[in-house]
């Protein structure tokens, strides 16, 4: 039985991700509680990197508070590595992401990177995606018609709320969380939902899947390559 808490497992994989950081490079940085542990670890080697491209206002604030320069994605042609967490990851390296509402910017930064390193604790490992409600960033006027499309697939879409009002993303849009799905073909599913009018980003990461997953387990960090 593991004596490590989930928080300690997150710190473990956050530190382990430093092995993929190349000196003199700009690092792609994701969003969320596990990534916060990586950002804290990154501060220990900040003199060896040029800075970071961030996927959210929250990560940007944390990076800057630790003295790490943050670059705009438009200033960077490519990144050697992007480090981010996942709400679920399957044996192919496909993920569900967006629990922190940063999925659109996460895909943008991931698309710049040569390698996607996913950091997660073992509770995020699943055989089939869909147990975690799928986040979908939508343009508000399309929310109900998108919800009906998911209903036709057997999913139940709920508008994400904060303090009783619709959650507003860093991009000024809303989030639908869709439960009741089993996503057996993530690549095809992502492509299909991306084509629906009003969808900004679907939280299936199959086109930008992980190349490596550092999984925090009771036995330590398990490295899975895809």
Binding residues for substrate: 31-34, 84-87, 97-100, 124
28 close to 52: Cβ distance less than 8 angstroms: yes
Residues serving a catalytic function are: 106
Sign of CA dihedral 125, 128, 132, 134: positive
* 134-138: strand order across its sheet: 156-159, 174-179, 134-138, 199-202
* Helix 33-42 with 57-65: angle, nearest 10 deg: 30
Rg (CA), the chain: 17
Contacts of 161 (CB under 8 A, 6+ apart): 167
In sequence order, what are the beta bridge partners of 84? 118
């Amino acid at each position: 039985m593991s004596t490590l808490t989930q928080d300690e497992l997150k710190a473990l994989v956050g530190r382990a991700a430093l092995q993929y950081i190349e000196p003199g490079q700009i690092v792609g940085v994701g969003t969320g509680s596990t990534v916060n542990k990586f950002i804290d670890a990154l501060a220990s080697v900040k003199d060896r990197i040029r800075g970071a491209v961030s996927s959210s206002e929250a990560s940007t604030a944390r990076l800057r508070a630790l003295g790490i320069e943050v670059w705009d994605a438009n200033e960077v042609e490519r990144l050697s590595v992007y480090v981010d967490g996942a709400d679920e990851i399957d044996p192919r390296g496909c993920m569900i992401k967006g629990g922190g509402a940063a999925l659109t910017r996460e895909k943008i930064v991931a698309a710049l990177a040569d390698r996607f390193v996913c950091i997660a604790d073992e509770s995020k490992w699943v055989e089939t995606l869909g147990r975690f409600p799928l986040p979908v960033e939508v343009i508000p006027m399309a929310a109900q018609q998108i919800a009906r499309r998911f209903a036709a697939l057997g999913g139940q879409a709920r508008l994400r709320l904060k303090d009783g009002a619709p959650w507003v993303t860093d991009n000024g849009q809303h989030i639908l969380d869709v439960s009741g799905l089993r996503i057996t073909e993530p690549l095809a599913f992502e492509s299909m939902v991306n084509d629906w009018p009003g969808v900004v980003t679907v939280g299936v990461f199959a086109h930008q899947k992980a190349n490596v997953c550092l999984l925090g387990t009771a036995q330590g960090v398990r490295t899975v390559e895809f």
